[in-house]
Chain A
Amino acid sequence: MEKSQCIFCKIVNNEVASYKVYEDKECVAVLDINPASKGHILLIPKKHYQLLPLMPDETFAHMGQVAKWLSYAAMKLLSAKGVSIFGATGGLAGQNAPHAMLHIIPRYENDKVRMEPAPKQISPDELVKLKQKLLPLFKQEFGGAVIEEKKEEKEQEKEPGRADLDMISSMLLGDDKK
Chain B
Amino acid sequence: MTGQCRVCSAIANKKLVLFEDADVVAYLSPDAYSAAHIVVTTKKHYSELDSVPDYIMAWCYAIANKVSKLVMKGLAIQGLNFLINHDFTTKQHFTINILPRFQDDNLELGWTPKQASPEELSQVQKRYKTATNSEWVFETEEKAAKVARKQSNKIQGKDNYMIKQLFRLP
Chain A residues within 8 Å of B, Cβ to Cβ: 19-25, 29, 31-39, 41, 52-53, 55, 57-58, 60-73, 75-78, 80-95, 102, 105, 107, 112-117, 119-122, 126-127, 130-131, 133-135, 137-138, 141-142, 145-147, 160, 164-165, 168, 172, 175
In the complex, which of the residues A67, A82, A175 has the most CB atoms of chain B within 10 Å of its own CB atom? A82
Question: With A64-B57, A93-B81, A147-B14 given, is the CB distance from A165 to B73 under 8 Å?
Answer: yes
Q: Is A168 within 8 A of B73, CB to CB?
A: yes
Known contacts A90-B78, A120-B33; 5 additional CB pairs below 8 A are A37-B111, A53-B68, A65-B138, A77-B169, A113-B111
Specify the chain B residue showing the minimal Cβ separation from A83. B86
The CA of A31 and the CA of B126, in the complex, are separated in Å by: 11
Question: With A64-B57, A82-B86 given, is the CB distance from A19 to B30 under 8 Å?
Answer: no
Specify the chain B residue showing the minimal Cβ separation from A149. B14
Specify the chain B residue showing the minimal Cβ separation from A105. B111
Chain B residues within 8 Å of A, Cβ to Cβ: 14-21, 26, 28-33, 35-37, 49-50, 52, 54, 57-62, 64-66, 68-75, 77-89, 99, 101-103, 107-116, 120-122, 124-125, 127-132, 135-136, 138, 163-164, 167, 169
Residues of the B chain whose Cβ atoms lie less than 8 Å from the Cβ of A126: 35
The CA of A38 and the CA of B115, in the complex, are separated in Å by: 10
Residues of the B chain whose Cβ atoms lie less than 8 Å from the Cβ of A22: 128, 132, 136
The smallest beta-carbon distance between A38 and chain B, in angstroms, is 6
Q: Is A73 within 8 A of B70, CB to CB?
A: no
Q: Is A127 within 8 A of B30, CB to CB?
A: yes
Specify the chain B residue showing the minimal Cβ separation from A116. B85
25 examples of A-B residue contacts, CB within 8 angstroms: A21-B124, A21-B128, A31-B116, A34-B116, A36-B113, A53-B72, A53-B80, A57-B61, A58-B62, A65-B138, A68-B57, A72-B164, A77-B130, A77-B167, A86-B83, A87-B82, A102-B82, A119-B32, A127-B15, A134-B28, A134-B36, A134-B71, A137-B74, A146-B20, A172-B78
Question: With A90-B79, A160-B73 given, is the CB distance from A138 to B18 under 8 Å?
Answer: yes
Q: Is A92 within 8 A of B78, CB to CB?
A: yes
The CA of A142 and the CA of B21, in the complex, are separated in Å by: 10
Residues of the A chain whose Cβ atoms lie less than 8 Å from the Cβ of B57: 64-65, 68
Report the number of A-B residue pairs with Cβ-Cβ less than 8 Å. 270
Q: Is B19 within 8 A of A94, CB to CB?
A: no
Q: Is B108 within 8 A of A114, CB to CB?
A: yes
The CA of A96 and the CA of B130, in the complex, are separated in Å by: 31
The CA of A91 and the CA of B79, in the complex, are separated in Å by: 7
Question: With A61-B62, A78-B127, A145-B20 given, is the CB distance from A52 to B88 under 8 Å?
Answer: no
Q: Is A72 within 8 A of B49, CB to CB?
A: yes
Q: Is A53 within 8 A of B65, CB to CB?
A: yes
